Structure 1
Amino acid sequence: MTKHGRMFHGLSDELLASDVMARFEGKVNLVFTSPPFPLNTKKKYGNETGDEFVRWLAAFGPLLKKMLAPDGSIVMEMGNSWVPGAPVMSTLALKSLLAFQEENELHLCQEFIWNNPARLPSPAQWVNVERVRVKDSFTRLWWMSAVEKPKANNKKILQEYSPAMKDLLKRGTYNAGSRPSEHRIGEKSFLTDHGGAIPSNVLTISNTYNNDPYQVYCREQEIQPHPARMPIELAKFFIKFLTDPGDLVLDPFGGSNTTGAAAEDLGRYWISIEAQEDYIAGSKGRFNGHLLESD
C-alpha cells in the first residue's frame, strides 16, 4: 500500500466480481494492463494456452467495463506467439484482441506498436540458428473504450521537436504550395510553436534496465523477478495521455506492478491485482520511500 494505491493478492476475475472492488465501480479512468500472452506453452506467470486464452480473455470484458468511468479507456498490451516447432506466427494474439473488443462492444480508438530495439533475437531457432526469420521486437497495444470519444489529450505527451523543425520555426518560412500528393500546404501551416511534436502510434522504447531499483531489490531479497516486464515509460505514456492527476488507474494483471509505479510517480491513484505472491513481494522494490508502514 502507498499514498496513492494498493496491490491486491488474488485471481483478478474473482476479485473484480467481489465486494472488495465494488466501491471502485464506475470510477476507473484507465485500465492499463498486459495480460499473460497467449503462448502455446505454459509459463510460471499463469497464462492460458491456445484458443482457451481467447475465451478466457474475452470473459474479462464485462468485469472491466463495469469498473470504467463513463469516459474511461482500456489499453491492453499483447505480444506475439509462434506455432510450436515451426517458423510460423500464430494468430492467437490478434484473435484474442478482436474477441475482447468485439464481444464486449468496445470501440478500437487506436492501435499502437511498442518497438523494443534492445529485445534479444527470437524465436532463437529461426532467427539465430537457421537464419530464416528476423527478430520479433514489437508488441501491440489496443486502446479501447465503450464510447467513441473517451478522455484523451495529446498535448500532454508532446515530444521534443526535431532539429529540422526547430530550424524551420527559427527561420519562420518554408516552401508552401501544392505537393505531389495533391495536398496544399498553407504559408503558416507549420510555423506555430505548439511546444512539441505530436507522437506517432509507434513507440520506440528500449527495455534494457538491469540495475533499476526493482531488479536490485529482487536480488537483495532473493526474489525471482517477473520475466515479462515492460518499461515504465510505456505505462507513463498512456497514463499521461488518457488521465489527469487524481484519476484512478487499474491493472488487473499487475505482475511486477509497473503500472502502479508509473501511476504513483504521476500523481494518479491506482489499483493492481496479482495472483503470484512472489511478484507482489518483488514489486515493493518499485516504491522505495513510498510504501506505508502498514503495508
Structure 2
Amino acid sequence: MKALPSESINLVITSPPYALHFKKEYGNVSKAEYVDWFLEFAKEIKRILTNDGSFVLNIGGSFNKGEPTRSLYHYKLLIELVETIGFKLAQELFWYNPAKMPVPAEWVTVRRIRVKDSVENVFWLSKTTSPKANNRNVLRPYSADMLRLNKKGLNKTSRPSGHNINESFTKVDAGGSIPSNVIDETFEENTIDSMMRFGNNSANDIYTKKCKENGIKIHPARFPAALPEFFIKLLTEESDTVLDPFAGSNTTGAVAERLNRQWISVDLDSNYLEASKFRFDKTIIGT
C-alpha cells in the first residue's frame, strides 16, 4: 500500500487474519499485539482512500483463553481506528453465517454453557462524514407481505411506539426494499455469478474443485462472495478502484471484476494468489 498514490482507492474491503488462540497457516497475531499490528495498515488505508471513499473491515470476535468470556479486542481496534487514526464509523453491519462451527467446544458442546456464534462484525468506516453510498444499488425484492399490503392498501394508523404509518408505506415503486444491516446468504440469491454463490465453507464451488484437481493449497478462510458484492455495489460506481490488502483466495477481486470495477488484491502467500487465478478462468465460468 505504501507504493500507492494518496487518495487513489475508492473502497478498501478486507477480512484480515483474526486474533485467535491457535495459529493459522496463513498467519495471525495474538490479541495482545493485534491492535498495534493492524493500526500500521490502517494508516496507509486512510492515506490511499479518496475523500469520499470507504473502508469495510470484517473481523470476528473470540473468547478469552481458558474462560467462557468474550474478548474485546475487535472493539478496542474499532475505537483506535476512530479516535487515533481518524476514521468515521459510518455503520456497523453483521455477516450472518449459520454454518459456523460451535466453538469453543469446551463451552458450547461439552459443558453446554454458551451458544454458538453465527455472526461476525463488519465495520463500515470512512474518511469523512459523507462517503459515496447509494442503497438503491442493493435493494432487496419486496416481501410477499409488502406486496399484499400494496395490493390491499393500509389505513392510516399510529403504532404504540408513536411511529405514524400512512399510505406511503404501501408504495412499491422504489424498486425494492432497503436491506438491513445483517448480510446473510439470501443476498446471494441475486448474485451476479452463479459460480460465486457459496459461503466460505463450500466444498463444491469451482475454486475448490480446481484447487483439488491441480493439487494446489486451498485457502482455509475464504471470503463469501455476498460480502464484497454487497459493499462494492453500495459504495462504488463502475470504474472505481477496490483494494483488498489481505486477499487470500481473492474473492474480492473476482467480484470487482464482474462488477466492472478496477481492483488491486494483495497477499503474502504466492500459493493463494496462484490458486485465485481459477476465479478468472473464462473457460470455467463462461464470462
Task: Calculate the TM-score normalised by the size of structure 2.
Answer: 0.90
| 1:186 matched to 2:186 | no
2:55 is the alignment partner of 1:106: no
Aligned position for 1:157: 138
Structure 1 stretch displaced more, 264-273 or 82-91: 82-91
Amino acid in the other structure paired with 1:274: D
Give 1:268's match in structure 2, choosing from 261, 267, 273: 261
Structure 2 counterpart of 1:220, one-letter code: E
Instruction: Name the counterpart of 1:197.
Output: 177
Find the aligned partners of 2:47 and 2:111 in 1 and give their Cα distance. 48
Letter in 1 for 2:213: E
* Partners of 1:64 and 1:246 in 2: CA distance: 19
Q: Is the 8 A contact 1:73 1:144 kept in 2?
A: yes
Q: Which consecutive aligned stretches of 4+ in structure 1 deviate over 6 angstroms post-superposition?
A: none
User: Whose helix proportion is higher, 1 or 2?
Assistant: 2
Give the aligned residue type for 1:121: P
| Counterpart residue type for residue 137 of structure 2 | K
Q: 1:63 aligns with which of 35, 44, 47?
A: 44
Alpha carbons of structure 1 residues 70 and 47: separation in structure 2 relative to 1, 3 Å: same
In structure 2, C-alpha distance between the alignment counterparts of 1:119 and 1:142, rounded to whole Å: 20
1: CA distance between counterparts of 2:168 and 2:180?
22
- 1:83 maps to 2:64: yes
Q: Report the aligned-residue RMSD.
A: 1.7
Are 2:260 and 1:250 aligned? no
Q: 1:117 to 1:179 in 2, by over 3 A?
A: same
Q: What displacement does 1:209 show? A: 2.2
Report the secondary structure of 2:167's partner residue: coil
Unaligned segments of structure 1, at least 5 residues: 1-15
Count of matched residue positions in the alignment of Structure 1 and Structure 2: 271
Alignment partner, residue 4 of structure 1 = none
With normalisation by structure 1, the TM-score equals 0.87
1:177 and 2:170 correspond? no
Q: CA deviation at 1:185?
A: 1.8
Whole-Å separation in 2 of the counterparts to 1:98 and 1:39: 20
Question: Corresponding residue for 2:193?
Answer: none
Equivalent pair of 1:168/1:191 in contact (CA under 8 Å):
no
- 1:4-60 Cα deviation digits (max 9, x unpaired): xxxxxxxxxxxx223xx23xx312110001111122332211111122111011122
How many percent of aligned residue pairs carry the same amino acid? Answer: 45
Residue aligning to 1:26: 7
Deviation of 1:116 after TM superposition, in Å, equals 0.4
How many Å separate the matches in 2 of 1:200 and 1:246? Answer: 27
* Counterpart code for 2:134: N
**8 A contact 2:147–2:172 mirrored in 1:** no
Contact 1:177 1:187 survives alignment (8 Å): no
| Separation (CA, whole Å) in 2 of partners of 1:183 and 1:54 | 41
Quote the Cα distance in structure 2 between the aligned partners of 1:182 and 1:64: 43
Counterpart residue number, 1:13: none
2:2 is the alignment partner of 1:17: yes
1:36 to 8, 11, 17: 17
Moved more, 185-194 or 92-101: 185-194
Q: Indicate whether 1:215 and 2:208 are aligned.
A: yes
Q: Distance in 2 between matches of 1:90 and 1:131?
A: 19
